Amino acid sequence: MSLKVRVGIVDTHPIFRIGLEHILRQQPDVDVVGVGASAADLIALVENCNPDLIFLDTDLNGDGIKAAADVKQSALKPVRFIFLTASERHEDVTAALRAGASGYILKAVSPETLMQTLRLIIGGETYVTPQLANRLLKNVAQNALTEPLSLRESQILSELTCGHTNKALQELVWVILPDFRVAATCR
């Protein structure tokens, strides 16, 4: 018999907590070890119930992400977090991931997808709802394009705009020619 995943639930909405707990308790490989409604409950749940994974909302009256980050830094045993939330805000997704979240999914998720996500994360994967992951990647790509050039990149670009050949640029800025061609085509 395999070990059960010890799961906690922290959400400010009672009807949501009850429904999620009901879904999780129907799973033979899941043991719901604690349920709470606040950041203080999250801390108590981690300290007293020894969960492997916690489903929580970003909100928790304004401090769900901060509470998760605090727990990640202070927990004696590693605990994984899946933010199960209504928030599609880019700032919340990135803050949750920076806080150490293993997953970020929307509350509109099906029970089947919820359980697939739980199992992926217990297996060591990270998961973000596909539509949010797509937005996140687009934002990263956009920021990469607008990221300022380094001093060295600016120097090379300045010399390039003067009309120097690759060979002349190699001598001017001490770049090995094959490396320069790669750098010039990657930017």
pLDDT, tens digit (0-9, with 9 covering 90-100), for 50-86: 999 999 998 887 788 888 888 888 866 789 999 999 9
Same domain flag for 162 and 70:
no
Q: Quick one: angle between helices 14-25 and 111-122, nearest 10?
A: 70
Same domain flag for 131 and 79:
yes
Same domain flag for 135 and 155:
no
Same domain flag for 130 and 164:
no
pTM of the model: 0.73
Same domain flag for 152 and 79:
no
Q: For every residue of 27-90, which 3-state class applies, written as one string?
A: CCCEEEEEEECCHHHHHHHHHHHCCCEEEECCCCCCCHHHHHHHHHHHCCCCCEEEEEECCCCH
Same domain flag for 92 and 119:
yes
Cβ atoms within 10 Å, residue 153 = 12
The reported pLDDT for the residue numbered 70 is 85
The reported pLDDT for the residue numbered 175 is 47
Query: Residue 155: exposed, middle, or buried by beta-carbon count in 10 A (0-12, 13-18, 19+)?
Result: middle
Three-point CA angle 36, 40, 45, nearest 5°: 50
**Sign (positive/negative) of CA torsion 47, 53, 59, 60?**
negative
Same domain flag for 80 and 16:
yes
Q: What residues make up the domain containing 173?
A: 148-186
Same domain flag for 86 and 136:
yes
pLDDT, tens digit (0-9, with 9 covering 90-100), for 9-62: 999 999 999 999 999 999 999 999 999 999 999 989 999 999 999 999 988 877
Same domain flag for 90 and 108:
yes
Number of domains in the chain: 2
pLDDT, tens digit (0-9, with 9 covering 90-100), for 86-133: 999 888 898 898 888 999 999 999 999 999 999 999 998 889 988 888
What CATH code is carried by the domain that includes residue 122?
3.40.50.2300
Same domain flag for 22 and 114:
yes
Q: Is there a contact between 50 and 33 (Cβ–Cβ < 8 Å)?
A: yes
Calpha distance 58→70 (Å, rounded): 14
Same domain flag for 105 and 181:
no
Same domain flag for 93 and 174:
no
